[in-house]
Amino acid sequence: MSIGGKGSDVLRAIVLDKQGNVYVTGDFQGTVHVGNKTLESAGLRDIIVAKLAPDGAVLWATSTGGTGEDRARGIALDQDGGIRIAGTVDGDADYRYYTANPTYRAFVARFDRDGKLVWTKRVEGVSEGGVGLGVDAKGNAYFCGAFEGTVKLGALTLSDPGGLYGQGQFIAKVDDTGGFVWAVQTKGVVWPGFETGHAMALDDSGAVYLAGETDGTVSVGGQTVTPKQEGLFIARLSSDGVTRWVRSFGNTEVTPNALATDGESVQVAAFFSGDAAFQSVSLPSSSAGEGHYADDLWLKVSREGYPMALTSPTEGSFAVALGVDSGAGRSCITGMYYFSSTIGGVNAPERGAADAYVGLLNKNGQFVGLATAGGLSWDEAVATAMGPDGGCYAVGSFGDAGTFGGRSLLARGSTDGYVWRISARGLKEGMQ
């Protein structure tokens, strides 16, 4: 199904509950149509949150924002069916309790099960957040992002990250009433990126994992690692914000975009350029080839940070999101690719400027399912989740006309958001 209007609209995050209901968030311009419901933005971009039934019927949809550009990038559920979203606001966005200055600011918000806003908390200072978001069994939310200079999270202060252009990463815990409990920052040569490169995950024990990219020594909560060359780092923190370990991996430019946990391990979806070496494993890149800018990378490490499996299952694509089925050891991976690419050993067709893919991985990171989508325009998958039937869901945006499986969608504006459900059978057929 598509969600859109006459402007530029995108869905950026998705999560499912135990009953198979689907919750999505993203942002839109002007007027957006969600099923039979119409929402109007208060400014340049507003945030949308919607709940869909297992058959795709829209149960409710709501929007929030101000006169600036507001974006939601993460969504998670608590034990009572409540919703958390996280992202970035700009301008004078009014989230009930705040009047913002015209700077980017990370936020986390709580909605009840019916889509009513309960509270919002913001990082005061130049920041962006929401790529990683999780909620524990007590209703505490954990989210990460990037910041510049000095920022305040309630009574907590973070400053002097020392990264590229004075940028660093943060990860914070917010209780179920919206109070900041703790915040930890990175220090050193970190490349957080205000669009990509910061990701986190939360496991059932309450451990929190943070990933980033570094070109030198990096410190997370006082623990330091110095990689031999630039590469990926992963840190584990306890539920009370104490850094347990920091590990580095690889020797080339690796941009981590997603983390996920299955109870026994941590999985990373990233893309890299140039030939990479991870411990004793070498990954030759196709990025030097015609039309290829990067390759995907999937890494699994233990809860203590030691490598368990590593693959580079695609050529010429960008992995941006992961969804994990903790019971079966399978994962959904999604992203986009330019030109013709090889994904999981299958030649992915070129349709337009950029196309989307969704893959099903086994516990060793090997593709056992694949689906691609797109049209003549720029089409992307931004987030994914495992379905209850062993299939996958994906959300993102498409322009003009896009083909998703056997169904064609027509965008109402420059881009529309979409929710795409691919069955286990459909994914398996994509490998043939």
Length of the chain: 432
pLDDT for residue 167 is more than 90? no
The Cα 220–Cα 74 span in angstroms is: 22
Pick 332 or 160 by higher pLDDT. Answer: 332
Token code pair at residue 205: 């024990």
Average pLDDT over residues 358-367: 92
Query: For residue 283, what pLDDT is reported?
Result: 62
The Cα 296–Cα 343 span in angstroms is: 9
List Cβ neighbours of 315 (8 Å cut-off, separation of 6 or more).
286, 289, 292, 295, 341, 342, 343
Query: For residue 431, what pLDDT is reported?
Result: 87
Confidence grade of residue 97 (pLDDT, cut at 50, 70, 90): very low
pLDDT for residue 373 is more than 60? yes
CB of 308 closer than 8 Å to CB of 300: yes
Question: How large a percentage of the chain has pLDDT more than 70?
Answer: 86
Query: For residue 102, what pLDDT is reported?
Result: 45
- Convert the pLDDT of each residue in 383-411 to its tens digit: 999 998 889 999 999 999 999 988 899 99
φ, ψ dihedrals at 179, nearest 5°: -85, 135
| Secondary structure of residue 258 in the 3-state scheme | strand
What is the per-residue DSSP string for 104-118? -EEEEEEE-TTS-EE
Question: Which range in 10-19, 194-203, 398-407 is most confidently predicted, on average pLDDT?
Answer: 10-19
Query: For residue 176, what pLDDT is reported?
Result: 96
Average pLDDT, the chain: 86
Query: Which has the closest alpha carbon to 427: 370, 383, 375?
Result: 370
Query: For residue 425, what pLDDT is reported?
Result: 93
The Cα 400–Cα 406 span in angstroms is: 17
Q: Is 75 exposed, middle or buried (0-12, 13-18, 19+ CB in 10 A)?
A: buried
pLDDT for residue 251 is more than 70? no
Query: Which has the closest alpha carbon to 143: 166, 110, 116?
Result: 110
pTM: 0.92
Token code pair at residue 359: 């893959």
Token code pair at residue 420: 């795409």
pLDDT for residue 144 is more than 70? yes
Query: Which has the closest alpha carbon to 87: 31, 146, 32?
Result: 146
Residue 261, beta-bridge partner list: 266
Q: Report the first-to-last Cα separation within the chain, whole angstroms.
A: 26
Pick 290 or 40 by higher pLDDT. Answer: 40
List Cβ neighbours of 21 (8 Å cut-off, separation of 6 or more).
51, 52, 53, 54, 59
Confidence grade of residue 293 (pLDDT, cut at 50, 70, 90): low
Query: For residue 174, what pLDDT is reported?
Result: 97
Confidence grade of residue 126 (pLDDT, cut at 50, 70, 90): confident
